Amino acid sequence: MHDGSSSLSRNPPRLLNRVRETIRARGYSPRTAEAYCAWIRRFVLFHGRRHPRELGPLEIEAFLSSLASEHHVAPSTQNQALSALLFLYVQVLSVPLARLGEFTRAKRPHRVPTVLTPGEVTAVLNQMRGVPALMASLLYGAGLRLLECARLRAKDLDFERLEIVVRDGKGRQDRLTMLPRGMVNPLRGHLARVREQHLADLDADAGWVELPDALDRKYPNAAREWPWQWVFPATRTYREPVTGRTRRHHLHETVLQSAVRAAVLATGLAKRASCHTLRHSFATHLLEAGYDIRTIQELLGHRDVSTTMIYTHVLNRGGLGVWSPLDGVLGRRSAGGGAIPRSGGGGGDV
């Protein structure tokens, strides 16, 4: 591993640029590139700005141990750091994986997701206004992830078929999910206003948006066409440095995160609910309504049904549909003796 003497401190951008180019060539997302570069930078600084070619498995292990013991990072964070370093050595520096040895990934603890009741969802949504309210409604009504919602384009909404096409979701997979009937008119009105804004941008010699992959080279004018415009555009434009074009990005995800957080606080809920909680609630409420778990798996875009199965553990009747014996005792006391009550949609025999 000690086959180079160059130091990253002499020319820091060179290695990180190679990382970004390699990530781009393999079709990873810009967020992955940003995260990987950040971890590689921290790794190099941790070892006194020595070039990664001068470091090896022991140094990688020391860095990961420091993250766990000194910084107390979550297992998922530690695993992301390991993935970034393995990508650096194997894909960028062409170091055979066998030379790096085996690394044990941190085990992620089993967590039951936070889920809101339908009444709590209603209370949260009633506290929201404007575009964030529309977006939060889609998180719950269609089971979208935060960025999936922010990155929706006009062509992804099919009002006739009541479908939403989620493109390039987690794992770079496309999928179909439902467009709630109650969202059709609000979204139509919203898109009419967005289109007026886009026409004004075109008149101002702007109106460009970022296109995925290399579509801007294949279809030079597509970035100004209506189907590619963001459903939830940002309020401000920016000048893209390479082309000099005036673009409009989608609304930044932190806007929605802040709005949901404020709405949850305003309701006085004791739960730590977030944007992703609305997606969890979507899945759980569909299970409660009796929908097949395979269907819910497809709507959520889970690769494995075992991921979807987590929601069976948060049903309001318990994961196995078992009633507590205390409910039977309390029912007999209140009724002066009698059968165990079966209100609430039924349950297993006690």
Out of 24, 155, 167, 170, pick the active-site residue. Answer: 170
Query: How many Cβ atoms sit within 10 Å of the Cβ of residue 45?
Result: 12
Respond yes or no: is residue 190 known to be catalytic: no
- On whether the CB atoms of residues 146 and 276 are closer than 8 A, the answer is yes
Out of 248, 279, 280, 285, pick the active-site residue. Answer: 279
Respond yes or no: is residue 140 known to be catalytic: no
Out of 53, 145, 245, 248, pick the active-site residue. Answer: 145
Respond yes or no: is residue 218 known to be catalytic: no
How far apart (Å, rounded) are the C-alpha atoms in residues 63 and 85? 10
Respond yes or no: is residue 145 known to be catalytic: yes
- On whether the CB atoms of residues 180 and 158 are closer than 8 A, the answer is no
How far apart (Å, rounded) are the C-alpha atoms in residues 57 and 68? 17
> Closest by alpha carbon to 257, among 249, 269, 265?
265
How far apart (Å, rounded) are the C-alpha atoms in residues 290 and 295? 11
Q: Residue 19: in which H helix or E strand, if any?
A: helix 12-25
> CB neighbours of 304 closer than 8 A, spacing ≥ 6?
none
Angle ∠(168,170,176) on CA atoms, nearest 5: 60
Query: What DSSP string runs through 316-332?
Result: TT-TT-PPPHHHHHHHH
> CB neighbours of 332 closer than 8 A, spacing ≥ 6?
338, 340
Q: Residue 164: in which H helix or E strand, if any?
A: strand 163-166
Respond yes or no: is residue 107 known to be catalytic: no
- On whether the CB atoms of residues 207 and 195 are closer than 8 A, the answer is no
Q: Residue 165: in which H helix or E strand, if any?
A: strand 163-166
Specify burial of residue 7 (Cβ count, 10 A radius: 0-12, 13-18, 19+). middle
- The amino acid that residue 4 corresponds to is G
Out of 18, 276, 313, 317, pick the active-site residue. Answer: 276
Beta bridge partners of 158: 163
Out of 36, 89, 140, 311, pick the active-site residue. Answer: 311
How far apart (Å, rounded) are the C-alpha atoms in residues 299 and 285? 13
Out of 248, 250, 285, 302, pick the active-site residue. Answer: 302
Respond yes or no: is residue 71 known to be catalytic: no
Active site residues: 145, 170, 276, 279, 302, 311
